[in-house]
Amino acid sequence: MKLRDVSINDRSLLSPEKKTELEELIVKTFQKAQNKAQEIVAEKTKEILGFDPNDMASMMAGGGIPGLS
């Protein structure tokens, strides 16, 4: 899921010249938070599994899963 656009329709909330800037900042902030959350998920997954699931291709090519013979 990705946030691509935000639209503020209530003109009483801010001046028209700041509307676009604020909408863009909201999208960028949300995307930054989402990226950080994905990084944390990847770190925790690696901790739980004991290996990086992104390295599955090298494991299948003969590297093996750490801790397994």
What's the pLDDT at 63?
Answer: 58
Does the pTM of the predicted model rise above 0.75? no
DSSP assigned state of 14: S
pLDDT of residue 26: 94
| For the chain, domain boundaries | 16-60
Per-residue pLDDT of the chain (69 residues; tens, 9 = 90+): 788 888 888 888 888 889 989 999 999 999 999 999 999 999 999 999 888 888 877 666 665 555 655
Residue with tokens 């001046």: 15
Residues 41, 56: contact at Cβ < 8 Å? no
End-to-end CA distance of the chain: 38
